[in-house]
Amino acid sequence: MIRKTSLGVALAVSLATSTAALAETITIATVNNGDMIRMQGYTDQFTQQTGINVEWVTLEENVLRQRVTTDITTKGGAFDIMTIGMYETPIWGANGWLVPLHKNVNFNTNNLSAAYDVDDLLPAMRGGLSHEGTLYAAPFYGESSMIMYRTDLMAKAGMSMPDAPTWEFIAKAAAAMTDRSNDINGVCLRGKAGWGEGGAFITAMSNSFGARWFDMDWNAQFDTKPWADTLNFFKNMMDASGPKGYATNGFNENLSLFQQGKCGMWIDATVAASFVTNPKDSTVADKVGFALAPDTGLGKRSNWLWAWALAIPAGTQKEKAALQFIEWATSKDYIELVAAKEGWANVPPGARVSLYENDNYKKVPFAQMTLDSILSADPNNSTVEPSPYVGIQFAAIPEFAGIATQVSQEFSAAYAGQQSVEEALGKAQDITNEAMEAAGYR
Amino acid sequence: MARAVSFNRKTVNTALAWAIGLLIFFPILWTILTSFKTEGQAIADPPIFLMFDWTLENYAIVQERSDYLKFLTNSVIIAGGSTLLGILVAVPAAWSMAFVPSKRTKDILLWMLSTKMLPAVGVLYPIYLIFIELGLLDTKIGLVVVLMLINLPIIVWMLYTYFKEIPSEILEAARMDGASLRSEILYVLTPMAIPGIASTILLNFILAWNEAFWTLNLTAAQAAPLTAFIASYSSPEGLFYAKLSAASTMAIAPILVLGWFSQKQLVRGLTFGAVK
């Protein structure tokens, strides 16, 4: 009897142990934004389908960047999936820190399955998340930047927004729409220091003025006329028609101003379109129009390209489970799932061609302009003059984030009137050249 | 006349104290108020102070999205563990420095304090690598040790200051009565220094509770405390101020309650020996 009981207990223990072993758990580091939070809400469905449990570590973007960089460079293994962007992916892929998701020629068990339809990914996204033709991260959502403007204020100013305006038109329209007595600013743009805030905006804008960060020998180019033109134009327009204190405004501050009806135009990330047209949060939801980011006629527009993507750090013990999750989260089925539950305006945009071929999605007011903006951005050919780097609002080299943060601080100080544009550009030139020399580029 | 001047001065001092108190408390009050607003009201310009539609929606969303109790438990274990461990190490160290000083005691104290001047990020990579080697990444015990080590200089300094106020003759008398070293520290020194030890414990518990560099960088899903809970509601691309405020209010509530109930002890300890 005792032996039977013992055997039963042993069997139960071994069964419980094996069940526990089967119930794999993956840990995902991610950013706090609407689409990512929405995905967390649907994770139970993935667990039901696969039996894989998911644990989330959600952090603010800059904290996340520091956290995952520390972990991947030390091979810490704290995460099985990391949410990273177009800046990190090619650099980390080249360093061998990420598991290749899809190779051009060979499939192996760790690559994305044929059913995933990797060819459906928007070419700009696929290219920006690859290194030498190998995809290292799957885009969860992608974005460019575009003009969001108040149709009522534009009409009141007696002007009409072209689909592809110039900066000259934007400055004129901004002046015409500005109404200080009613607290309406003609244009709201990012001036906040930080490479991903004001730094990203001014870099993308400078491309349209014919500027570039480096020449082909990695010499800084802030002493050139196109950079002076860019900064002077930005400061003059914002001083005349921008909100007070624009030097400290980033995405959130401008979103807040626009939603409260205090901006005539706002040029920023395409994902903002769903926020400003949402009547729950925006007081101007039914008065918003969209247009391509401006240019100066030199052949380059001032829109950027970005994607938040899911990647697997090399060395994780749960590569297969991680790949299963990525396939699920970035699949066509996931888009259908969100559309069915929350409507087409809330699906993660900018990642798949098929989304923009969907008749239901075509009815979303900002869908076509988002696609046009993404398609007009080319990270491999972002500047008028040739440049040695890949990236539009950044240069995909490890040193860029540190340099651009310092440079954008100098620019913000110029916007705030603490120094002249010439002084800011002079300092930017010295900071960049010194850093590039120390890093061995020059 | 003298009474009138005294009354006026008292009134002014009281008003000034209230004004400073409100000024210091205002960010916390604003956070608490914002947590009851909608996201639209949270960003309203001009700001809305009290006349808004109060809602508990943010708390419901935060509760639904995050396992608050798990973060809270981790915070209690990490802050409590590191404080207790720190006290266990610091009491003998402070006793030795206060009652059996060597000619290098002052230098050691200054050197200990100088470790606080090093920016934490400067030692992030070495500590991260040590944690990987020892398997301490994303563990509560790892954080207990790290937070104990970073707060130890402050604990030792505070206890040293309190112990210095205790006449050494009392300890000598205990020794003459045959008290062992252990008995001397446990039954003579500690009871006399209780207010100081209590305020040291409270202050270090608060410091460990609020620590947001190591707790964010050395944890993932298992050991993350309330600092990580708050960080998960901050975003540069999206307006989550009301939810962030709700998360912050939930994170600071336990420590506010603790501080409220122990304020007498805390003030008594912090002013211990200040007036002779």
The verdict on B137 touching A (C-beta cutoff 8 Å) is yes
Which helix (H) or strand (E) element contains residue A398?
none
Q: Which chain B residues are within 8 Å of A197, Cβ to Cβ?
A: 236
How big is chain B, counted in residues? 276
To probe the interface with B, which of A28, A36, A55, A60 has the most B CB atoms within 10 Å?
Answer: A60
pTM for the whole structure: 0.85
Backbone angle region of A261, left / alpha / beta, with phi > 0 → left and psi within -120 to 50 → alpha: left
pLDDT over 60 (residue B1): no
- Asked which of A29-38, A172-181, B135-144, B255-264 is least confident by mean pLDDT, the reply is B255-264
- Distance from A339 to chain B by nearest Cα, in Å? 21
For residue B13, tell me if it sits in a domain. Answer: no
Mean of the pLDDT values across residues B46-67? 92
The domain spanning residue B110 has which CATH number?
1.10.3720.10
Using CA atoms, how far apart are residues A380 and B196, in angstroms rounded to an integer? 64
Contact B40 A281 (CB under 8 A): yes
Residues 6+ apart with CB under 8 A from B252: B28, B31
The verdict on A317 touching B (C-beta cutoff 8 Å) is no
Using CA atoms, how far apart are residues A111 and A327, in angstroms rounded to an integer? 10
Residues 6+ apart with CB under 8 A from A284: A150, A258, A259, A261, A276
- Distance from B155 to chain A by nearest Cα, in Å? 29
Asked whether A165 and A291 are in contact (CB, 8 A), the reply is: yes
Mean pLDDT of chain B, nearest integer: 90
Per DSSP, A141 falls in state E
Using CA atoms, how far apart are residues A439 and A398, in angstroms rounded to an integer? 10
To probe the interface with B, which of A57, A182, A192, A283 has the most B CB atoms within 10 Å?
Answer: A57
Q: Which chain B residues are within 8 Å of A56, Cβ to Cβ?
A: 221
Asked whether A267 and A294 are in contact (CB, 8 A), the reply is: yes
Asked whether B132 and A77 are in contact (CB, 8 A), the reply is: yes
Using CA atoms, how far apart are residues A309 and B143, in angstroms rounded to an integer? 30
What is each CA distance from B235 to A37, A354, B139, B220, B244, in whole angstroms?
Answer: 11, 29, 26, 18, 9
Q: Across chain B, how many H-helices and E-strands are there?
A: 15, 0
Q: What is the pLDDT of residue B273?
A: 55
**Helix, strand, coil in percent for chain B, rounding step 5:** 75, 0, 25
Contact A57 B221 (CB under 8 A): yes
pLDDT digits (tens, 9 = 90+) for A320-344: 999 999 999 999 999 999 999 999 9
Mean of the pLDDT values across residues B183-209? 90
Using CA atoms, how far apart are residues A320 and A323, in angstroms rounded to an integer? 5
Provide the pLDDT confidence category of residue A6 given band limits of 50, 70 and 90.
low
- Asked which of A19-33, A218-232, B42-56, B123-137 is least confident by mean pLDDT, the reply is A19-33
Q: Which chain B residues are within 8 Å of A251, Cβ to Cβ?
A: 236-237
pLDDT digits (tens, 9 = 90+) for B231-264: 999 887 777 899 999 999 999 999 989 888 888 7
Q: What is the pLDDT of residue B269?
A: 67
Contact A32 B232 (CB under 8 A): yes
Q: What is the pLDDT of residue A3?
A: 54
Asked whether A311 and A82 are in contact (CB, 8 A), the reply is: yes
Using CA atoms, how far apart are residues A413 and A423, in angstroms rounded to an integer? 10
More confident residue, B229 or B275: B229
The verdict on B231 touching A (C-beta cutoff 8 Å) is yes
Per-domain residue ranges for chain A?
24-142+306-362, 144-304+385-438
The verdict on A269 touching B (C-beta cutoff 8 Å) is yes
Asked whether B238 and A33 are in contact (CB, 8 A), the reply is: yes
The verdict on B238 touching A (C-beta cutoff 8 Å) is yes
To which CATH superfamily is domain A144-304+385-438 assigned? Periplasmic binding protein-like II (3.40.190.10)
Token pair, residue B179, equals 């008290």
**What is the percent of chain A where pLDDT is above 70?**
93
* Burial bucket for residue A399 (CB in 10 Å: 0-12, 13-18, 19+): middle
Amino acid at B153: P
Q: Give me the domain span that covers residue B129.
A: 66-232
Residues 6+ apart with CB under 8 A from A78: A27, A29, A71, B137, B138, B220
Token pair, residue B14, equals 């009281």
State the angle between helix axes of B194-210 and B140-164 in degrees (0 to 180), rounded to the nearest 10.
150
Handedness of CA A302, A267, A218, A225 (dihedral sign): positive
For residue B244, tell me if it sits in a domain. Answer: no
Using CA atoms, how far apart are residues B102 and B116, in angstroms rounded to an integer? 23
pLDDT over 90 (residue A223): yes
Using CA atoms, how far apart are residues A405 and A413, in angstroms rounded to an integer? 12
More confident residue, B39 or B75: B75
State the CB neighbour count (10 A cutoff) for residue A315.
Answer: 12
- Report the DSSP beta bridge partners of residue A84: A309
What is each CA distance from A137 to A78, A419, B270, in whole angstroms?
Answer: 18, 41, 54
Q: Which residue, B35, B14, B222, is CA-closest to B138?
A: B222
Asked whether A81 and A310 are in contact (CB, 8 A), the reply is: yes
To probe the interface with B, which of A24, A26, A30, A32 has the most B CB atoms within 10 Å?
Answer: A32
Report, in angstroms and rounded to the nearest whole number, the Rg of chain A calculated over CA atoms.
24
Burial call B6-30: b when 16+ CB within 10 Å, e when fewer: eeeeeeeeeeeeeeeeeeeeeeeee
Asked whether A373 and A269 are in contact (CB, 8 A), the reply is: no
Token pair, residue B276, equals 């002779």
Asked whether A220 and A436 are in contact (CB, 8 A), the reply is: yes
**CATH code of the region A24-142+306-362:** 3.40.190.10
How many domains does chain B contain in total?
1
Provide the pLDDT confidence category of residue A18 given band limits of 50, 70 and 90.
very low
Asked whether A323 and A312 are in contact (CB, 8 A), the reply is: yes
Using CA atoms, how far apart are residues A335 and B72, in angstroms rounded to an integer? 35
The verdict on B43 touching A (C-beta cutoff 8 Å) is yes
Q: Which residue, A369, A335, A310, A356, is CA-closest to A123?
A: A356
Contact B44 A55 (CB under 8 A): no
Asked whether A322 and A329 are in contact (CB, 8 A), the reply is: no
pLDDT over 60 (residue A429): yes
Mean pLDDT of chain A, nearest integer: 91
Residues 6+ apart with CB under 8 A from B108: B97
The verdict on A285 touching B (C-beta cutoff 8 Å) is no
- Distance from B129 to chain A by nearest Cα, in Å? 7
More confident residue, A281 or A439: A439
Provide the pLDDT confidence category of residue A22 given band limits of 50, 70 and 90.
low
Provide the pLDDT confidence category of residue A10 given band limits of 50, 70 and 90.
low
Q: Which residue, B144, B168, B156, B143, is CA-closest to B197?
A: B156
Among A57, A66, A75, select the one facing B220 at the smallest CB separation. A57
Q: Which residue, B59, B65, B61, B73, is CA-closest to B225?
A: B73
Mean of the pLDDT values across residues A5-11? 52
Which helix (H) or strand (E) element contains residue A412?
helix A400-415
Mean of the pLDDT values across residues A198-204? 97
Mean of the pLDDT values across residues A143-153? 97
